[in-house]
Amino acid sequence: MRLARLRTLLVPPLALIVAGCIYRMDIQQGNLLDREQIDQLEVGMTRSQVRFLLGTPMVIDVFDPERWDYAFRFERGKSGKVTKRHLIVWFDGDKVKRIEEPDPVPAKESAAAG
């Protein structure tokens, strides 16, 4: 009887303490690009020059091979704060035709900071 009462008093606080000690790791997915890399990207560059500068794109559209998507997502484990970046490079044949930045990378901040 005394042991059952002791369990009733100790188990809930111990469960709360253990639940608060769960480690949540940071999750990074995609291409981490900084402002300097993006600023070096120019209309007229070849696909191999873009790949050398930015790396392999996260997504090459199967239905539109003229579009390369560089996507980045970073989630802080502890806070759950999510940072997203997205860059689209459009080609005409082998040359860059247009560059779109729906989620721009700030000048003095890395995409994972914050």
The domain segmentation of the chain, as residue ranges, is: 25-103
Residue 88: CB atoms within 10 A of its CB come to 17
Give me the DSSP letters along 65-110. Answer: TTEEEEEEEEE-TTT--EEEEEEEEEEETTEEEEEEEEEPPPTT--
Query: What pLDDT, on a 0 to 100 scale, did the predictor assign at position 10?
Result: 76
**CATH classification code of 25-103:** 3.30.1450
Distance CA 46, CA 78 (A): 41
Write down the mean pLDDT value for the chain.
84
Q: Is the predicted pLDDT of residue 110 greater than 70, yes or no? A: no
Give residue 12's pLDDT band: very low, low, confident or very high (50, 70, 90).
confident
